[in-house]
């Protein structure tokens, strides 16, 4: 049996966060467990804005303690943290044991939070958790923020951003262009410290789909837990996301959501890869 852990927030509709992580792990044949960092309840009477409640730090500590004592787990994903006190307790927990893989989805701000508090949170994430990550998966906005670049509009700039983020600690950076990077393809780049690999799949429409980033990071986590290398893990994760978007679930929320169940091993793979020297 393969095991993976997630430290993430609940998003009750099932379109993001902890729920997505466990569905993704299960779909890829990995036994999932995890700790909740916060609870997000979108408000249907107020444009589906996010109502955010942090879980008390002692409770986060206790969940992680229980799970990590119940099994030997050496691979974890870190998703939404959302509060400086949460970041402190999660950083301490990550330092409490050895990990083979710590996959950080650097969720920077949750809609509905005060910008001042978000800045504290961004800085705490960058200084306390980013250096502990072995892999991080910023989207275009997060790549720009974490790299300090003014703008990212080309694949070359996305690679540059990934290199700058790798200089802050993580061994591998998967920077995601998504629908926001101009062009026909949804492009992700993997910087592995020596070379950039470009992963491409045709964009499926131009609308964002909820849960794409969570699914990608969770799928990378699951594949690493199964012993795949980072290049294999990113390829499978992007295939899963692309197929999940093709088979997306519509909802009354502003965005459709990915269906993780559409991907099984052996599904024809939509992603092409190219390594730049």
Residues forming contacts to ligand PXL in the complex (CB under 6 A) are 8-11, 16-17, 40, 79-80, 107, 213-214
How many Cβ atoms are within 10 Å of 112's Cβ, its own excluded?
Answer: 13
Rounded to a whole number of angstroms, the minimum distance from the CB of residue 14 to ligand PXL is 11
CA angle at residue 200 from 198 to 203, to 5 degrees?
145
Min dist. Cβ of residue 265 to ligand PXL (A)? 25
Nearer to ligand PXL, 2 or 48 (CB): 48
Q: Provide, rounded to whole angstroms, the least separation between the CB of residue 57 and ligand PXL.
A: 17
Select 159 or 204, whichever has its Cβ closest to ligand PXL.
Answer: 204
Q: Please state the closest distance from residue 109 (CB atom) to ligand PXL, in A.
A: 10
The runs of H, that is alpha helices, within the chain are 17-27, 57-70, 84-95, 115-124, 140-147, 155-166, 212-225, 230-246
Report the residue number, 11 or 223, with the smaller CB distance to ligand PXL: 11
| Three-class SS of 230-252 | HHHHHHHHHHHHHHHHHCCECCC
Q: Backbone phi, then psi, for 118, in 5-degree steps?
A: -65, -35
User: Of the two residues 16 and 67, which places its CB atom closer to ligand PXL in the complex?
Assistant: 16
Q: Closer to ligand PXL at the Cβ: 10 or 24?
A: 10
| Residue 151 Cβ vs ligand PXL, minimum distance, rounded to whole Å | 22
Spatial distance between the Cα atoms of 175 and 178, rounded to a whole number of angstroms? 9
């Amino acid at each position: 049996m393969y095991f993976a852990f997630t430290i993430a927030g609940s998003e009750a509709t099932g379109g993001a966060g902890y729920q997505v992580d466990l569905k993704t792990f299960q779909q890829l044949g990995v036994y999932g467990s995890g700790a909740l960092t916060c609870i997000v309840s979108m408000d249907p009477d107020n444009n589906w804005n996010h109502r955010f409640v942090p879980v008390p730090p002692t409770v986060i500590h206790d969940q992680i303690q229980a799970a990590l004592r119940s099994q030997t787990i050496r691979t974890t994903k870190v998703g939404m943290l959302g509060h400086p006190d949460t970041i402190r307790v999660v950083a301490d927990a990550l330092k409490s044991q050895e990990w083979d893989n710590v996959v950080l989805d650097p969720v920077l701000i949750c809609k509905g939070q005060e910008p001042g508090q978000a800045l504290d949170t961004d800085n705490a994430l960058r200084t306390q958790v980013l250096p502990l990550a072995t892999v991080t998966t910023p989207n275009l906005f997060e790549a720009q923020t974490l790299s300090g670049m003014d703008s990212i509009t080309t694949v070359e700039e996305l690679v540059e951003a990934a290199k700058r983020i790798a200089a802050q600690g993580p061994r591998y950076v998967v920077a995601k262009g998504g629908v926001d990077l101009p062009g026909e393809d949804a492009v992700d780049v993997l910087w592995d410290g020596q070379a950039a690999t470009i992963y491409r799949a045709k964009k499926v429409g131009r609308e964002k789909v909820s849960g794409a980033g969570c699914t990608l990071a969770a799928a990378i986590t699951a594949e690493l837990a199964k012993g795949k290398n980072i290049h294999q893990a990113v390829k499978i994760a992007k295939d899963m996301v692309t197929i999940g978007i093709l088979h997306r679930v519509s909802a009354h929320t502003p965005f459709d959501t990915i269906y993780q169940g559409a991907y099984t091993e052996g599904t024809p793979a939509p992603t092409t890869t190219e390594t730049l020297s």
